Amino acid sequence: MLWNRFEEDRAKLNLYLNPNFEAGSGISDRDAVVDGVMDLLKSMEGEPHQLIKARAIEYVLDNAAIEVNPVDWFGFNFCGWYTVSQAGEAKRHKNIRGPLQVLCNYWESELEHTPEFDDACENFAETGAGVFWPDYDHSVPDWDSVIGLGFTGLLRRVKEKHNEKIENGTITPEQEIYYTSVEIAYEAVLRICNRFLECAKKHINDDEKMPVMIECLENICTDSPKTLYQYLTMTYFYHLFQEHVDRIQARTLGNLDVDGYPFYKADVEAGRLTRENAEELFRYFFEKYTNQGHTHSQPLYFGGFDENGDSLINELSYIMLDAYDKSCIVNPKLFIKVMPNTPDEFLKKALDMIRRGKNSIVFINEELGCRISRKLGRTEEETRRLVGTGCNNFASRGKETTPEHVYVNLAKGIELAFNNGVDFATGAFVGCKTGDVSEFKTFEDFKNAYIAQTEKLIDKAFIISDFYDSHLLDINPALLYSGSMPDSVNSGKDAYYDGVKYTNTVMFLSCHATAADSLMMVKKYVYDKKIITIEQLYNALKNNWEGYEDLRDMILKDEEKFGNNIDSVDNLACEMLNHFTNKVTSRKNKRGGHFVVNGESIWWAHFWAEKCAATPDGRMRGDMLSKNMSATIGQDKKGITALIKSVTKIDATNLAYGCPFDYMLHPSAVKGEDGLNAMLGLLRTFMKRGGYGYQGNVQDADTLRDAQNRPEKYPNLQVRISGWSWFFTQMEKEFQDEFIKRAEMAG
């Protein structure tokens, strides 16, 4: 029986924690694979990093043990990113990003740091001023090329361009290294696909699926996809190799409903597939990403519009939502691109899933995305075909690299303004000299000190980003990823190193609401009402409000905070964000592009909390900072409509690479058809007012508290953390407490 087996097979689908590698197919211990990579590195010391990495990809794909699981439509696995000990016990490796991560770590450790870079990094992360790393985690492969050409076509395209440059005498030594390296990598990919094929043939009688799987593998080894199953298998393979061998995250699986629809339609017409078969196929496909356990979940996106402006939501879109709903999973995560003509029926289907706890869905505003795209200088065709990527972002399809090296904590500048650039807890000087706080006679004096301190952190972020941008090719040449990108292949340059049309660098400016609320309270209580002096407020913050409890209580109850649709504080938030985004976006990066801004904080708002002193908005050290575009927890006191109005006063076109809004609704507010219509109305209002990303939870505090105390009762209870969702009972208690507090406010 080919179909109606998912629930029966489900327990057998996690190949990654329970591998069953084919005997004699290669090295079955991940640590041994990694050791082999390091031995190769030593033997090739001094050769170009691109060539070393190509040979390392070749080594892994040629020598790692493989597996074909007969009951799993996508049951293809290789040893490399999970450890299987010598005793045969499966265990998750500390680094799931693949065996070539050791190359990246080694090459990064070899870099000669400039004094400016070291100065910029010093105490930056330790004090909660921000966080940084060399980022390869937000790439968008050209799925048109991957699916349209297949592995054989991708390799052929590289070789043709290589030969063309040789024949016309224009090839440079750097291009020769590039083409040779990409060819080696793709040849290795084709060899492992053939290894999977030969392994599958050995098991042709093990399951009724095997003849279909073998036919699919034969096609993967020689051609581009011709059926929906082949399309999804090609997507699975490419993602697996780019993310876990190339060590370049593929931050979208693509526009699966739109790109997959022609395959689905042809399958149905030919009698190869029914609607029910397609739904089950997607359940197997989604299960792969649930089992792979991506830290921030694996994105894919729905919708878009055609050249006539008509919505591209189709029958396959609904099938995919049904498959996801029935599986009760949090990974992959789903982006829905929303236009005014996106069918209400489809949006309500997704919103109904959210109110029933299936909340790994974000809605992103495609009209806004188009405005941003044009503002960034993209063509109309590029604008029409924007992808949904990352946590809740738009990017150009197959023409762009967007490393995101540094997050800057906008709330940290408040503390530094009070303490003349010095971190309260550590005594580290991380800002700049703006004078003793007692010298600030007006609010403008304090605000200017805050701006100067925050600009200093942004200047440090520029230095860090410039350093990493200058060394992306040194740390991790992007071979498979580059081979998918037409511009990179045509130019003979790495996709991250000036090899594509758009080479922007993203800087995160996070926690704006805590900063704005703090500025507002300083203005109101120190300079306008004169309830407390600036010196007294300094002492209150330094002592974490101890001895100033009455004042703190008064400030916490003050509703003049971001999120309540009060122009005074909302305008202050907009003023600060506009000022800092203008500073960032006015600067060019080291790869020929510009800096652009993302307003997300994701979970850093939580991790920075203990590192940031008490703030004038009433927050104590350790209390969470504001997350993403939303208000600080507990400060939006006038309901979700007021919160949406505050958030959408911000010009989201200045935050081109993301600025999501997080909501929390009580189940009683969204019951029945009226409740579902209310959810749709809120979503449409948010989009109409120019909001970017819309994501959230429908929960009540009593249920969350019960789940915290009796987790065995709630194994499938989901919550939206930030740009991804997770199971509530598997979260740390601090995160659980945050959601309980938010649910209390929503109730």
Mean pLDDT, the chain, integer = 95
DSSP run (H or E) holding 336: strand 333-338
Other CB atoms within a 10 A radius of the CB of residue 415 amount to 31
Q: What is the mean pLDDT of residues 629-635?
A: 95
- Residue 294's pLDDT band, with cuts at 50, 70 and 90, is confident
pLDDT at 97: 58
pLDDT at 80: 84
Q: What is the 3-state secondary structure (H, E, C) of 520-566?
A: HHHHHHHHHCCCCCHHHHHHHHHCCCCCCHHHHHHHHHCCCCCCCCC
Which burial class, exposed, middle or buried, applies to 130 when counting CB atoms under 10 A from its CB (0-12, 13-18, 19+)? buried
**Is it the case that residue 438 has pLDDT exceeding 90?**
yes
pLDDT at 591: 95
Choice among 79-83, 204-208, 290-294, 443-447 with the minimum mean pLDDT = 79-83
CA distance 447 to 520: 10
Q: Which residue has the higher pLDDT, 5 or 296?
A: 5
**Is it the case that residue 81 has pLDDT exceeding 70?**
no
| Amino acid in position 545 | W
- Residue 89's pLDDT band, with cuts at 50, 70 and 90, is very low
**Is it the case that residue 373 has pLDDT exceeding 60?**
yes
- Residue 741's pLDDT band, with cuts at 50, 70 and 90, is confident
What global pTM score does this model have? Answer: 0.96
The DSSP result for 562-602, as a single string, is TTS--HHHHHHHHHHHHHHHHHHHTSB-TTSSBEEEE---T
Q: What is the mean pLDDT of residues 330-351?
A: 97
Q: What is the mean pLDDT of residues 360-382?
A: 97
Q: What is the mean pLDDT of residues 730-742?
A: 89
Q: Are 410 and 507 in contact (CB under 8 A)?
A: no
**Is it the case that residue 82 has pLDDT exceeding 60?**
no
- Residue 334's pLDDT band, with cuts at 50, 70 and 90, is very high
Rounded (5°) CA angle 490-495-500:
60
The pLDDT tens digits of the residues spanning 649-661 come to: 999 999 999 999 9
Residue with tokens 């819309």: 694
The DSSP result for 172-228, as a single string, is -HHHHHHHHHHHHHHHHHHHHHHHHHHHHHHTTTS-TTHHHHHHHHHHHHHS---SH
Q: What is the mean pLDDT of residues 300-305?
A: 98
**Is it the case that residue 83 has pLDDT exceeding 80?**
no
Q: What is the mean pLDDT of residues 47-63?
A: 98
**Is it the case that residue 94 has pLDDT exceeding 60?**
no
pLDDT at 729: 94
The first and second tokens of residue 456, run together, are 């200093």
pLDDT at 95: 42
**Is it the case that residue 90 has pLDDT exceeding 80?**
no
CA distance 70 to 68: 6
Q: What is the mean pLDDT of residues 718-732?
A: 91
The pLDDT tens digits of the residues spanning 599-629 come to: 999 889 999 999 999 999 999 999 999 999 9
- Residue 745's pLDDT band, with cuts at 50, 70 and 90, is confident
- Residue 93's pLDDT band, with cuts at 50, 70 and 90, is very low
CA distance 351 to 695: 10
**Is it the case that residue 84 has pLDDT exceeding 90?**
no
Q: What is the mean pLDDT of residues 321-325?
A: 98
For residue 537, the Cα-to-chain-centroid distance in whole angstroms is 38
DSSP run (H or E) holding 491: helix 486-491
The residue ranges of every structural domain in the chain are: 252-389, 404-456+494-661, 699-747
User: Pairing between strand 660-665 and 595-598?
Assistant: unpaired
CA distance 275 to 280: 9
Q: Give the contacts of 173 (CB within 8 A, at least 6 positions apart).
A: none
The pLDDT tens digits of the residues spanning 343-362 come to: 999 999 999 999 999 999 99
